A and B are shown apart, each in its own frame.
Chain A
Amino acid sequence: MSAATQPRPGLLPGRGSALRIGLLAAWAVAAIVGLIGIGERILLGERLTAYSSYIPWGLWVAAYIFFIGLSAGAFLLSSLVYVFGVRQFERIGPLALFTAAVTLAMALLSILFDLGHMERFWEVFLRPQFHSMMAWMVWLYTAYFILLLGELVFALRRRVVRLSPAQVERDDRWLRILGTIGVPLAIAFHGGVGALFGTVVAREYWNTAIFPIIFLSGALLSGSALLTAIVVFLWPTRDQAWRELVRALSRIVIFLILLELILEFAEFTIPAWYQIGSEAGLISFVLFGPYWYVFWVIYGLMGVVVPLILFTRGGVVAQGVGAALVALTFFAVRLNLVIPGLITPELRGLERAYLDPVGGRLVYAYSPSLFEWQVTIGVVAFGLALFYLGYRFLPLIQNGDNIHEGSAR
């Protein structure tokens, strides 16, 4: 963070202000805590984790699908500009692309730490097995990552070097082509993440057709909300155009909150309505079990009710707070997608059949360990730093010439 040399409006409060020092201190603490966690992960492997042989996926997998959802959502929002030519959002195109790239990097880092053999991740490229949804997902997001970088180059080049109108037009064409490929790609890879869970027949909670759909709607919601919050808090100017931009984004977020709500309603009521069947118990666990507050308080209250009030009643800043709440609390939804699928024994009595008194790895209870949180905090600190560096050194936002840059349509 200390690399900051020329102050630029928008990202951090002015030099010497208490808020600025507080934010920097908070980041530094997160970075130190996270680095310690990541160091332990590298040196000690997964021995400090709380997930187990019976609940083999935990916080890091939830973090992975959360971050990758943010990425897919931000990217799809950018396609409004580059593919569908929605001029209202033209100014946030590069910012959306960059946000998508940063959150994708955070997602990949999260899932890398989850692997038992991190040093073998490239095996997925050398010896893929395309029956596996996971292999598809890795190949698709690799393609997506390359495409994202390409789009960023074409979107930013005109702001770094002076291009002739013809060159700008050519870049625009490339942006349109890449974006057009990118939309189905982003839908495929994030739907694929949902399908990775949805195709597992052994897990009734996951094995529903709504999973890929709800992953996509969640990606759109969380990604758009994150971008809205970024625009509210980090946009350099506070003019009428900015207010209109925020209002338009807020409408999208409100729509997506409601869409997500309908899908979640279907997801939770269809298998459990008559309180019979194997999935009914799992849904009761989510809604009324020991972690009931994850759904009702974190998602329901802080992710739906409060943001909807803020969006409809509040000013621009309140809408930004609402959007940030939606984006952050969506992590609770992701946790509730991964963990409950794993908490019941596949064979009754297996939980008592053979115990692991040393590490507690043969239990059907999971609560992330401090170490797991540490690593995730480290990933977040890394993402924030990456975003800050990009925001400072890349021409993601340009004052004044945003409305009609070059010959953009």
Chain B
Amino acid sequence: MNERGGPVLEVRPDGVSSSPDDGTVSGRRDFLLKVAGALVAGAALPVLGLPGTAIAAPSHLTRGRTDVVPSLHISPQADEDVLIRMQRDLERALAKPIEQRRWGMVIDTRKCVGCSACTIGCSMENKLPPGVVYRPVVDTEIGTYPNVTRRFLPRPCMQCDNPPCVPVCPVNATFKRPDGIVEIDYDACIGCRYCITACPYQARTFDFGANWTDNAAAGPGAALALDGAAEYEHLPNFEYGEQWTRGEGVIPLSPVGNARKCTFCAHRLVEGMLPMCVTTCIGRATFFGDLDDPTSLVAELAASTNVTRLKEELGTEPKVFYLL
């Protein structure tokens, strides 16, 4: 990757256009058209067409479908969006058996502008309640006024190869899947929160059963938006390819009362969709793919010299890499 090259990037050899600022007006229109076309064809189709099948299929681990996404058949373009390349990488990985995939993420901190679109996209995708967050963006101010700058650090689950949260679970409710994603079995988790204390990245949060509309005005006088929000809150989410409808009460309906964490959008991956934080990143700062595929974009980026991981010294072997 020419990540290592100059500070301003125009067109990459692999077709990554990473700096929209440099495009001319016509170039940008061209670019947007291509992106829109490819995205509608590639990513949006499964979103629109397949929620039903996504829920019904039994084994969420072994499924993989490449038939629905046509982007494999789009030949690489010199100036295509990174998303399109990652889409191709994703489909190649899904064509392999699950144990030969090793999902990883690369976050380019130089491109992150701290917009938190990933945080919001993630929260909506997984319908996260208040108090639960999978991917906050840590915003650090450096220096003394007026000589200050800011640094942004999105923090998903590191999906450690040696996860400290897994061996502490007394009931085996959290485990590393063959594709490297650390999963929580919501039906087994007893809610002891030991794993939350054990994560050195604080990537796990607890679902206390709160709702966004708690203590908000309700009834006939309430704003229309609020009613909509209340309805939205009781829609199911599809984490790990199952349908989860939260519910409070004497016996809470999982994931209420459970530890929760980023899943790399495992439920989207099996349907051939990139994680929500990747698709919502306005600066294309988050890359995703199969680390075991040397031709994938993430594998290339993870081999950069300017790469680092959080708290390497603990030996957790995170699969989230940061470019500095």
Interface residues of A (CB under 8 A from B): 42-47, 49, 52-54, 56-57, 114-117, 119-121, 123-124, 127-129, 131-135, 138, 196, 199-203, 341-342, 345-350, 352-354, 356-362
Contact = CB atoms under 8 A, between A and B. Distances in A.
A112 B139 CA distance: 38
A117 B197 contact: no
B188 A123 contact: yes
A131 B173 CA distance: 13
B27 interface: no
A120 B131 contact: no
Interface of B: 116, 119, 130-133, 136-140, 153, 155, 164, 167-173, 188-194, 196-202, 204-212, 214-215, 248-252, 254, 256-259, 310, 314
29 contacts: A52-B206, A56-B206, A57-B197, A114-B192, A116-B193, A120-B189, A120-B190, A123-B188, A132-B168, A132-B169, A134-B170, A135-B171, A196-B194, A201-B198, A202-B198, A202-B200, A341-B197, A346-B199, A346-B200, A349-B139, A350-B138, A352-B138, A353-B136, A358-B210, A358-B211, A361-B130, A361-B132, A361-B208, A361-B210
Contacts of B204: 53
B209 A47 contact: yes
Nearest to B255: A116
B96 to A, nearest CB: 30
Given A46-B209, A354-B133, A354-B137, A116 B249 contact: no
A117 B208 CA distance: 11
A92 to B, nearest CB: 35
A56 B208 CA distance: 10
Given A45-B248, A47-B210, A53-B206, A134 B130 contact: no
A116 B257 contact: yes
A357 B256 contact: no
Nearest 10 Cβ contacts at the A-B interface: A116-B191, A361-B131, A116-B257, A354-B136, A53-B205, A353-B136, A358-B130, A202-B200, A56-B193, A131-B167
Contacts of A352: 138-139
A359 B207 CA distance: 11
B188 A127 contact: yes
Given A52-B206, A120-B190, A346-B202, 6 more contacts: A116-B206, A120-B189, A124-B190, A132-B168, A347-B310, A362-B205
Contacts of B198: 200-202
Contact of B212 (A114, A202, A358): A358
A354 B168 CA distance: 26
Nearest to A203: B197
A117 B252 contact: yes
B205 A43 contact: no
Contact of B190 (A42, A121, A348): A121
Contacts of B257: 45-46, 115-117
A365 B231 CA distance: 32
B208 A349 contact: no
B208 A123 contact: no
A55 to B, nearest CB: 9
A357 B199 CA distance: 24
Contacts of A361: 130-132, 205-206, 208, 210
A124 B171 contact: yes
B312 to A, nearest CB: 14
Contacts of A56: 193, 196-197, 206
B300 to A, nearest CB: 27
B192 A128 contact: no
Given A116-B257, A123-B188, A133-B168, A347 B193 contact: no
B307 to A, nearest CB: 18
A348 B310 CA distance: 12
Contacts of B201: 346-347
Contacts of A349: 138-140, 153
A336 B170 CA distance: 24
Given A45-B248, A356-B130, A132 B194 contact: yes
Given A45-B209, A128-B170, A347-B153, A359 B131 contact: yes
A116 B197 contact: no
Contacts of A49: 208
Contacts of A135: 170-171
Given A42-B250, A45-B256, A134 B194 contact: yes
B190 A123 contact: yes
Contact of A359 (B164, B199, B210): B210
